[in-house]
Amino acid sequence: DQQVKQNSPSLSVQEGRISILNCDYTNSMFDYFLWYKKYPAEGPTFLISISSIKDKNEDGRFTVFLNKSAKHLSLHIVPSQPGDSAVYFCAASAQAGNMLTFGGGTRLMVKP
Amino acid sequence: EAGVAQSPRYKIIEKRQSVAFWCNPISGHATLYWYQQILGQGPKLLIQFQNNGVVDDSQLPKDRFSAERLKGVDSTLKIQPAKLEDSAVYLCASSDTGELFPEAFFGQGTRLTVV
């Protein structure tokens, strides 16, 4: 039973355009959401997070949107850069600091 | 600030052998996690420690996997005996429970291949 799903295994975007990565969850107890970025042969690195009391959080080129009623969140990267090419994981927890449940990841390829 | 350290980076063993992985979390981080990431999937939590106590080990296959964090700092994850399906990257992560919304910081992982 996958509680966190990333339905697009891969996404290809032109440099300078917007990248939108999507994530859906089923557990209504989740109230804290994170995005991690992973390069080959490295561990995941934290990118941005959002708590359920917000519907948007921005950090530079990265914005995460949360739609609690739809149990959906998305990560927007604007503008996309070739260095953004990586696997992006969505993760959720029922309480900040508790175990993270990860989605299967989306491989983003930003073409020059 | 030093990151989460893991060793070894790579390990190849035959099925039914034993293997151990070591993790040193970020200094001061009370919470330590072990995740298993099978190729093409997201990381899956195996066990979570708070200091030297186990918070969650519900997904740890206890017949073959064990983990300890005796002094509340370093941790060891052991597999005995290994099966082919244990081939994966084993990720250690730590977080600072003093933060309001702590994120987990991950090590580079240990890639295990069971042949």
Q: Which of A106, A4, A15, A11 is nearest to A61 (CA)?
A: A15
pLDDT beyond 70 at B1: no
Mean pLDDT of chain A: 94
Q: How confident is the model at residue A33 (pLDDT cuts 50, 70, 90)?
A: very high
Q: Is A44 on the interface with B (CB under 8 A)?
A: yes
The 10 Å Cβ neighbour count of residue A76 is 16
CA torsion through residues B104, B57, B100, A76, sign: positive
Q: How confident is the model at residue A97 (pLDDT cuts 50, 70, 90)?
A: low
pLDDT beyond 90 at A18: yes
pLDDT beyond 80 at B97: no
Radius of gyration, CA atoms only, chain B: 13
User: According to the model, what pLDDT value does residue B96 have?
Assistant: 83
Q: Two tokens at A60? A: 């530079």
User: According to the model, what pLDDT value does residue B101 have?
Assistant: 63
Q: Two tokens at A108? A: 């983003």
Following DSSP, what letter does each residue of B44-107 receive, concatenated? EEEEEEETTEEEE-TTS-TTTEEEE-TTSS-EEEEESS--GGG-EEEEEEEE-TTSSSPPPEE-
With CA atoms as reference, the chain B residue closest to A4 would be B42
The tokens 């927007």 sit on which residue?
A76
pLDDT beyond 90 at A95: no
At B62, is the secondary structure helix, strand, or coil?
coil
With CA atoms as reference, the chain B residue closest to A37 would be B106
Mean pLDDT of chain B: 92
User: According to the model, what pLDDT value does residue B11 have?
Assistant: 97
The 10 Å Cβ neighbour count of residue A6 is 20
Q: How confident is the model at residue A3 (pLDDT cuts 50, 70, 90)?
A: very high
pLDDT digits 0-9 by tens, A41-71: 899 999 999 999 999 999 999 999 999 999 9
User: According to the model, what pLDDT value does residue B103 have?
Assistant: 81
CA of A111: how far to CAs of A16, A36, B2, B34, in Å? Answer: 9, 21, 33, 34
User: Smallest Cβ distance to B100: which of A6, A96, A105?
Assistant: A96
In percent, how much of chain A has pLDDT > 70?
A: 97
Number of H helices, E strands in chain A: 0, 11
